[in-house]
Amino acid sequence: MSSTQPFLKGVVVLIPAFALGRAQELLLILDEYWSNHPDLHNIPIYYASPLAKRCMAVYQTYINSMNERIRNQFANSNAFDCKHISPLNSIENFNDVGPSVVMASLSGLQSGLSRELFEMWFSDKKNACVIPGYVVQGMLAKTIINEPKEVTLMNGLTAPLNMQVHYISFSAHADFAQTRKWRKPLGG
């Protein structure tokens, strides 16, 4: 299967993420993956967070504070100068045609660009939402991890949740059940 196969039918992937830390790590991972898979070069990746955009400039400036791999890579290029990722400042500036990956804040999908994009895309079965880590109870992101049949929209109405939802544990946080599962093999 080629890297582009999921995108052939115009799939849109939404990744709701925090603006700091995890977002930059995910952007580096996505940019590196796209760099290593030329068949993906025509599929855009956007990050929709004004704060994440400002933080990328800080990360680019303080490269010497990064881990050894990033510092070594800096000899050839700045890892935070992502070649395959573009900022998305507002939905009004977004050309929503064709496949794409969009990382947007807020991570819990309660409001912000991530929620607006979710409400644009949740009804289409070809689209996906990838939750990249810990979310607290009561947040829409936490709710959709359990793949309910319906979601409550910002206007208070309910509608069927048709998009695919994937959870990837990419977080330093753990809830009680996760901590207990981790401790069990240790005799805890």
N residues, the chain? 188
| Whether 144 contacts 131, CB under 8 Å | yes
The one catalytic residue in 37, 84, 166, 173 is: 173
Active site residue 173: yes
Distance CA(44)–CA(20), nearest Å, equals 21
Provide CB contacts within 8 A for 112, sequence distance 6+: 104, 105, 106
**CB neighbour class for 107 (10 Å; exposed up to 12, middle 13-18, buried from 19):** buried
Which residues are marked as active site?
Answer: 173
